[in-house]
Amino acid sequence: MITKSQATLAVAIPNLSLTDALLALQIEDFIRHAQRQMEPIDRRVLQGEKIPHAEKVFSLFEPHTEWINKGKAGVPVELGLKVCVLESRQGYILHHRVMENEADNQIALEMIREAKKKYPSLSACSFDKGFHSPENQLRLAELLDQVILPKKGRCNKQEQERENSPEFRTGRKQHSAVESGINALEVHGLDKCLDHGLEGFKRYIALAVVARNIQKMGCEIIQEKRMKQAREKEKQRRQA
């Protein structure tokens, strides 16, 4: 099948129009994908070998797609790319990063460094447990005045005292608000990416972040106007 397709294209391409030639290039790309899949299929089906996720292709149309272990009941696994979001206490997204074959604990320092370039006054941040590593605990403390980063696994006495401190517990309570920010991103464009390719995905993420921040700003402006109108009505009522 592959050999016949290659032979047909070789004969047809010189006589194709520009539009058809572009379609032929796409077909050639799918042929290369098919050739690439032959080797892991042979290893898995004929030799019984377990193929590591890093060597698998999960989408022919979006080759950057990754296998994501969610670890949640009902949705243990998803296909796509992870996106890390840094949100302010006011609900604005300060920084984001599309994670390409990266774990949470590998990007914690870089996220804070990049955010502090834009917002030098950033002095505290709360993280999920997935961002924990002994090195991150030490290095983040050099960048921030307050690091809310719970440890994975069992804590020693010193770590328990740190995580039970009023400042740490307060920071953890505020951390849950980021879930509403993630949901808002999905509502404002990230429920489904309609662009193609890795660069298209990154562009779509960036536009969704801008849309979310504009929507957040608009809500605050509307709320401020409503409060002002309420104050004016109350003033008029008292004068009457």
Per-residue pLDDT tens for 172-182? 877 766 667 77
The pLDDT, as a whole number, for residue 176 is 63
Q: Given the DSSP bridges, would you call strands 93-99 and 82-87 parallel, antiparallel or unpaired?
A: antiparallel
Lowest mean pLDDT among 54-63, 71-80, 154-163: 71-80
Strand partners, 119: none
pLDDT at residue 170 greater than cutoff 70:
yes
The terminus-to-terminus CA distance of the chain in angstroms comes to 87
Give residue-wise pLDDT tens across range 77-105: 888 888 999 998 888 999 999 999 898 99
pLDDT at 40 over 80: yes
Top mean-pLDDT range of 12-21, 49-58, 107-116: 107-116
Beta strands, E only, 115-209: 124-126, 146-148
Stretch 51-75: mean pLDDT, rounded?
79
The pLDDT confidence band at residue 184, using thresholds 50, 70 and 90, is confident
pLDDT surpassing 80 at residue 189: no
Q: Give the gyration radius of the chain's Cα atoms.
A: 25
Residues 6+ apart with CB under 8 A from 84: 96, 97, 99, 104, 107, 111
Percent of the chain surpassing pLDDT 90: 25
pLDDT of residue 36: 78
